[in-house]
Amino acid sequence: MKRTILVTLALLTLIIVPARAENPNQVQQLLETGACPGCDLSGADLTEAHLIGADLRDTNLQGAKLVNANLEGADLSGANLKGANLTGAFVTNATLNQANLTNVNFTNAQLFHTDVAGAVATGINLSGAKLFGTDLNVGGN
């Protein structure tokens, strides 16, 4: 009987507790050094993180939470940001060239002089975002 209860609880934990894909050591590395190129930070909660000048080239940030993060001068060249939440993020003088920005939420974000050359930007949300010197738009040419 006890064994059945333990197995049931273990299975429920797997169902109820969402899986986290990010590597905690790599998150710590990024926060301490400002560099984590090629890291797997998918699903990471980097809310309000100060990532000024961070080296995030080719990093997997799919589904990451970067709400109100400061990415000023960060290099996210080739990064996978698919489905990431950058609501209220400060993305100034950053490099997002060749990045995957599919379904990224940039609601109320500030993107000033951000390099997005060659980035995939389908399904992005720019509601309330402020763009200046950044070649992103919704619809049209």
**88 part of a folded domain:** yes
Asked whether residue 98 is domain-assigned, the answer is yes
> Does residue 95 sit within a domain?
yes
Choose among 118, 36, 27, 112: nearest CA to 70: 112
State the Cα–Cα distance between residues 3 and 92, nearest whole angstrom.
55
Residue 125 in domain? yes
Domain count, the chain: 1
Instruction: Tell me whether residue 5 is in a domain.
Output: no
Domain of 119 in residue numbering reads as 22-141
Report if residue 4 sits inside a domain. Answer: no
- The CATH number that applies at residue 57 is 2.160.20.80
Q: What is this structure's pTM?
A: 0.81
pLDDT digit string (tens) for 25-53?
999 999 999 999 999 999 999 999 999 99
On whether residue 84 sits in a domain, the answer given is: yes
Separation of alpha carbons 80 and 56, rounded Å: 10
pLDDT tens for each residue of 76-103: 999 999 999 999 999 999 999 999 999 9
